[in-house]
């Protein structure tokens, strides 16, 4: 057996041969060497030069470039949730939903023309902001049948609303209190206490009785207004977003940090902790101060944004944390967005940084209800990012997904395709890139199973089981199970992986 001795181990071995005094001297020499640095050393920051430990030449500039870029990368990754939700609210505002009482509603559902990260086509969405700094305590009246939640400006969970909230789906009044609010709190409201002023309201309505019924339910019962105006609130308006093309996707450029600066200025200083504030301050983002990076910092921030974008993609396609694969220990490539179904991304006092990035990079809106699977209710999601051979999906090829008989859902199942660049619905000739148990023309095999196809052209005889792909583009898929039953939960029923079909 061969051994590699460290400096300390070498010093210890010398003690056996030279005695205690000489051994002590050797150990101290080893410590000194370990604390020293060579006159020239090659690093990821470049070749660094020193004179007896003193930086010379371009070394200081190279080290500071590396530090600023690395800190900017950390800021990018730590704040994806905030910048992402800001981009959504900004996109809504540009379409007229620019105040809490102006609610974005997708009356004809959300199709591929509206780029919202991993949105679905199967339920009716309503989004709205709060502006607690301007409005003070704000009332949200919700009708029966809602399923939703409130997230703060950093896209952190505040509370559930509707079926999973305290109104239990019967409807009710919620009161959103500003950070640090110490005023009178009237009776008759469910309380929500975010740590930020700008917050994100997400509501989803069932369409089982039709789109018009669902839209009318929103319009009849959803109201948002300041508590101080409760006796005479401004009318709530609904802005129909269906069919509109506008961006809600956050950039991975210098603009990312400009957006973050705006968020920091709008929110209380303690909305995030000192460590995150320190990293932001190190790159020039400080509450109460302008953000004016010079040309050098602009270059480093732009590089950090590119690295952050790349990191989100590597963590997505090659997750190296536990709890991502739905069927661990098998060859299955189905993954979940919440590692270990943990919606806080924390356990045992530790923040799982990659788990947080994995979710915020690929999805929007956090609630424990999205991860608390109960038989027959709610929904559960499985993502296919790679094919059965661990390869990307190619838009010019044909793939098949086999769903065994008796798909275990109480309500329905659906598969939707997404663009790998934007993580939004794939834009093709199909405005709604979804196929599922409610799709018109879908057919079952004789044993009750389903075969779905993904290709540029519909395989003959399987037009109703087909989703279109785009040559030259990749894609990924999400299988949504609405009202998943016990065989899904205990994994006695399992979807096949999406596999390449050589010939049809």
pLDDT in tens, 275-305: 999 999 999 999 999 999 999 999 999 999 9
- 236 and 377 in a single domain? The answer is no
Share of the chain above pLDDT 90, in %: 88
CB 143 within 8 A of CB 117: no
Q: What is the CATH number of the domain that holds 488?
A: 2.60.120.600
Task: Show Cβ contacts of residue 279 under 8 Å, excluding neighbours closer than 6 positions.
Answer: 71, 74, 75, 78
Q: Is 36 within the bounds of a domain?
A: no
Q: Among 240, 256, 284, where does a domain finish?
A: 240
User: What is the reported pLDDT for 503?
Assistant: 58
Calculate helix-pair angle for 295-317, 353-362, nearest 10 degrees. Answer: 90
Q: Does residue 394 sit within a domain?
A: yes
Instruction: Among 240, 259, 275, give the residue marking a domain's end.
Output: 240
* 3-state secondary structure (DSSP) of residue 160: strand
Please tell me the distance from the alpha carbon of residue 8 to that of residue 393, in angstroms, as a whole number: 51
CA 188 to CA 203: how far, in whole Å?
Answer: 21
- Measured CA angle at 34 (ends 29, 40), to 5 deg: 115
CATH of the domain at 172: 2.60.40.1610
Interval 178-200 mean pLDDT: 97
What average pLDDT score do residues 296-317 get?
A: 98
Q: What is the mean pLDDT of residues 40-55?
A: 97
Alpha carbons within 13 angstroms on the beta-carbon side of residue 41 total 17
For the chain, what is the domain count? 2
* Residue 397 located in a structural domain: yes
pLDDT tens digits for range 212-222: 999 999 999 99
Is residue 43 a part of any domain in this protein? no
364 pLDDT above the threshold of 90? yes
Cα–Cα distance measured from residue 63 to residue 55, given in angstroms and rounded to the nearest whole number: 10
Q: Is 70 helix (H, G, I), strand (E, B) or coil?
A: helix
Q: How far apart are CA 328 and CA 333, in angstroms?
A: 9
Identify whether residues 87 and 228 lie together within a single domain: yes
Residue 158 lies in a domain: yes
Query: pLDDT tens across 467-479, in order?
Result: 999 999 999 999 9
For residue 123, tell me if it sits in a domain: yes
267 is a domain residue: no
Residue bearing the bigger pLDDT, 407 or 28: 407
Least confident span in 25-39, 72-86, 155-169, 244-258: 25-39
Domain range for residue 389? 373-501
Q: Is residue 349 part of a domain?
A: no
Q: Choose the final residue of a domain: 240, 262, 292.
A: 240
């Amino acid at each position: 057996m061969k051994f590699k001795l460290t400096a300390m181990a070498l010093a210890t071995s010398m003690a056996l041969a030279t005695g205690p005094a000489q051994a002590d001297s050797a150990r101290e020499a080893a410590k000194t060497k370990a604390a020293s640095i060579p006159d020239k050393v090659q690093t990821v920051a470049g070749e660094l030069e020193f004179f007896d430990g003193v930086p010379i030449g371009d070394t200081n500039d190279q080290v500071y470039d590396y530090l600023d870029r690395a800190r900017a990368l950390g800021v990018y990754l730590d704040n994806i949730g905030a910048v992402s939700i800001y981009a959504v609210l900004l996109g809504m505002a540009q379409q007229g939903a620019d105040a809490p009482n102006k609610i974005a509603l997708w009356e004809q559902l959300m199709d591929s023309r509206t780029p919202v990260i991993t949105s679905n086509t199967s339920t009716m969405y309503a989004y709205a902001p709060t502006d607690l700094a301007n409005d003070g305590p704000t009332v949200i009246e919700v009708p029966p049948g809602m399923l939703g939640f409130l997230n703060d400006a950093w896209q952190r969970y505040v509370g559930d609303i509707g079926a999973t909230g305290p109104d239990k789906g019967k409807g009710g009044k919620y009161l959103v209190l500003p950070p640090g609010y110490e005023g009178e709190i009237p009776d008759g409201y469910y309380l929500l206490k975010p740590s930020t002023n700008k917050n994100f309201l997400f509501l989803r309505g069932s369409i089982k009785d039709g789109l018009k019924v669902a839209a009318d339910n929103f319009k009849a019962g959803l109201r948002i207004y300041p508590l101080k105006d409760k006796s005479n609130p401004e009318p709530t308006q609904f802005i129909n977003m269906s069919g509109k093309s506008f961006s809600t996707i956050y950039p991975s450029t210098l603009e990312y940090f400009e957006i973050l600066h705006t968020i920091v200025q709008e929110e209380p200083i303690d909305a995030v902790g000192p460590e995150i504030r320190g990293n932001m301050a190190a790159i020039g983002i400080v509450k109460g101060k302008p953000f004016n990076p010079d040309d050098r910092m602009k270059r480093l921030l732009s590089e950090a944004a590119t690295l952050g974008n790349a990191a989100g993609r590597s963590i997505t396609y090659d997750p190296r944390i536990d709890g991502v694969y739905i069927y661990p220990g098998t060859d299955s490539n189905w993954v979940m967005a919440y590692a270990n179904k943990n919606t806080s991304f924390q356990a045992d006092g530790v923040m799982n940084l990659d788990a947080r990035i994995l979710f915020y990079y690929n999805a929007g809106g956090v609630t424990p209800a999205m991860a608390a699977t109960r038989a027959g209710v709610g929904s559960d999601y499985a993502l296919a990012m790679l094919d059965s051979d661990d390869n990307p999906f190619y838009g010019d090829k044909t793939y098949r997904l086999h769903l065994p008989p008796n798909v275990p859902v109480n309500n329905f199942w659906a598969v939707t395709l997404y663009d790998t660049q934007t993580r939004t619905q794939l834009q093709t000739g199909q405005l709604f890139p979804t196929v599922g148990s409610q799709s018109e023309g879908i057919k079952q095999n004789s044993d009750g199973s389903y075969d779905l196809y993904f290709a540029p052209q519909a395989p003959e005889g399987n037009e109703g089981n087909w989703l279109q792909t785009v040559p030259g583009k990749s894609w990924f898929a999400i299988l949504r199970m609405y009202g998943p039953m016990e065989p899904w939960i205990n994994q006695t029923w399992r979807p096949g992986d999406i596999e390449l079909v050589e010939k049809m």
